[in-house]
Amino acid sequence: LEMAVQALENFIAEWKPKYRKVMESLENTDNLLTFYQFSYQI
């Protein structure tokens, strides 16, 4: 889980200068993705 969080933070940091609004929305999705049932590999 820690690796996934770090990967998301890196992704946001890389793309935020170009797509600020989209990346800001990704930063605020802590509870949003819990509604989806992803396989364990993801």
Q: What does the pLDDT read at residue 20?
A: 95
Tens digits of residue pLDDT in 1-42: 788 889 989 999 999 999 999 999 888 876 666 666 667 665
Q: What one-character DSSP code corresponds to residue 36?
A: S
Q: What does the pLDDT read at residue 29?
A: 75
Q: What does the pLDDT read at residue 32?
A: 66
Give dist(CA 26, CA 13) in Å, integer. 11
User: What are the domain boundaries of the chain?
Assistant: 2-35
Question: Exposed e or buried b for every residue in 6-23, given b needs 16+ CB within 10 A?
Answer: eeeeeeeeeeeeeeeeeb
Q: What does the pLDDT read at residue 5?
A: 83
